[in-house]
Amino acid sequence: MNDPVASAETLRAALDGLLDGLPPRQAATAVERLIANYRGATPTDAPILRDRADVAAYAAYRMPATFEAVHAALEAFAEAAPEWAPGSHVDVGGGTGAATWAVSATWPGRRPVTVLDWAEPALALGREIAAANPALRDVRWQRSRIGAALSIESTDLVTISYVLNELAEADRATLVDTVASAAQAVVIVEPGTPDGYARIIEARQRLVEAGFRIAAPCPHSAACPIVPGTDWCHFSARVSRSSLHRQVKGGSLAYEDEKFAYVAAARFPVVPAPARVVRKPQIRKGQVLLDLCEAEPALARTTVTKRHGDLYKAARDADWGDAWPPAE
Ligand SMILES: C[S@@+](CC[C@H](N)C(=O)[O-])C[C@H]1O[C@@H](n2cnc3c(N)ncnc32)[C@H](O)[C@@H]1O
């Protein structure tokens, strides 16, 4: 299943199934409790996802969004490495397996996949949901604690999605170094907040020092041109809202935008975008203003007008997060 829309729909149907038979108010209460826990002090000494109700709530509420964010990061990576596909995948802190769905939506076919997490109920539910996706039937769901003792078998791709946030600083550094020595490619995704960006920049630096090249979002592997504290690099992925979302968040919008920060890096040669659109393009009469991160490296605003012909058409279609100019 490599059609991303079909994957998202299959995932959604499997997640809806989880809540069947659960009174809607009970699911909403579990989500509210989880949100409160996540707002509290993380890292924690023990898993936040303690039982099936916690995990079902997490999966139904968050998995569609983490899937879309990871999928967007992987697509940007795939554009920078069009000839490459992972022959194996390890998802660290994988929980219910959103990243495994995103990998199989990006690169078709089956491959050995291992999901590592310390929360047994999350792994059990991940396995249950994955039964709906033929590419994920043989995934190994393995209980494992991230820390100094973590060992990761050699693999093509490691994903770490929405996990660094839950780790102490020393464990974050050790984890990035451990995956750097085990993987050919590493994709890390965090919430699109100033803190999420700071964790991504720290990890990016460690990956570069370990010999990786940055494939996306940056057009280069040099230092990030953002002056710390003045801004943060992040992107946005559109997610259809489920009825559970509407219940917890109120309102009737059919979608919401998941903000995320990410880095994708590889040991093998990659061709990063010449530049990337780092804010929502501003469309004015006869012109489009694009905020770009360029290979120089520098942040710059460029104005594309009708006089630019086809490039102007492309600019009108450009989205926040796209490579610029678009590939032929
Ligand atoms: C916010 S969830 C993200 C899950 C999944 N990667 C996703 O994108 O939907 C964070 C995950 O990290 C796991 N985790 C946090 N600290 C951990 C640790 N020290 N060892 C192993 N797993 C950990 C949690 O159990 C949880 O499944």
pLDDT per position as a tens digit, 188-226: 999 999 999 999 999 999 999 999 999 999 999 999 999
Look up the pTM and report it: 0.95
Cα–Cα distance for residue pair 207/212, rounded to 1 Å: 5
Residue 93 Cα to ligand 1 middle (Å): 4
Do both 179 and 288 map to the same domain?
A: no
Q: Quick one: average pLDDT of 176-197?
A: 97
Mean pLDDT for all residues in the chain: 92
Q: Is the CB of 146 under 6 A from ligand 1?
A: yes
Out of 101, 118, 161, give the residue to mutate to test ligand 1, the one with the largest number of ligand atoms within 8 Å of its CB.
118
Residue 56 Cα to ligand 1 middle (Å): 14
Do both 259 and 279 map to the same domain?
A: no
CATH number of the domain to which 129 belongs:
3.40.50.150
Cα–Cα distance for residue pair 53/75, rounded to 1 Å: 32
* pLDDT number for residue 39: 62
Cα–Cα distance for residue pair 96/1, rounded to 1 Å: 18
pLDDT band at 52 (very low <50, low <70, confident <90, very high): confident
Look up the domain containing 53 and give its range: 4-266
Cα–Cα distance for residue pair 16/242, rounded to 1 Å: 8
Q: Is the CB of 11 under 6 A from ligand 1?
A: no
Do both 219 and 97 map to the same domain?
A: yes
Do both 210 and 318 map to the same domain?
A: no
Buried b or exposed e, range 200-239, using 16+ CB within 10 angstroms: bbebbebbbeeebbbbbbbbbbeebbbeeeeebbbbbbeb
What's at 184, amino acid-wise?
Q
Do both 260 and 283 map to the same domain?
A: no
Do both 149 and 260 map to the same domain?
A: yes
Q: Quick one: average pLDDT of 285-297?
A: 94
Do both 187 and 309 map to the same domain?
A: no
pLDDT of 269 strictly over 70: yes
Domains: count for the chain: 2
- Whose alpha carbon is nearest atom 12 of ligand 1? 93
Do both 136 and 154 map to the same domain?
A: yes
Residue 177 in contact with residue 242, Cβ under 8 Å? no
pLDDT (tens digit per residue) in 8-34:
889 988 888 887 777 777 778 878 877
What's at 265, amino acid-wise?
A
* pLDDT number for residue 228: 87
Cα–Cα distance for residue pair 257/239, rounded to 1 Å: 6
Do both 195 and 244 map to the same domain?
A: yes
Do both 160 and 301 map to the same domain?
A: no
Cα–Cα distance for residue pair 95/145, rounded to 1 Å: 12
* pLDDT number for residue 20: 75
Residue that is last in its domain, among 249, 266, 283: 266
Do both 192 and 256 map to the same domain?
A: yes
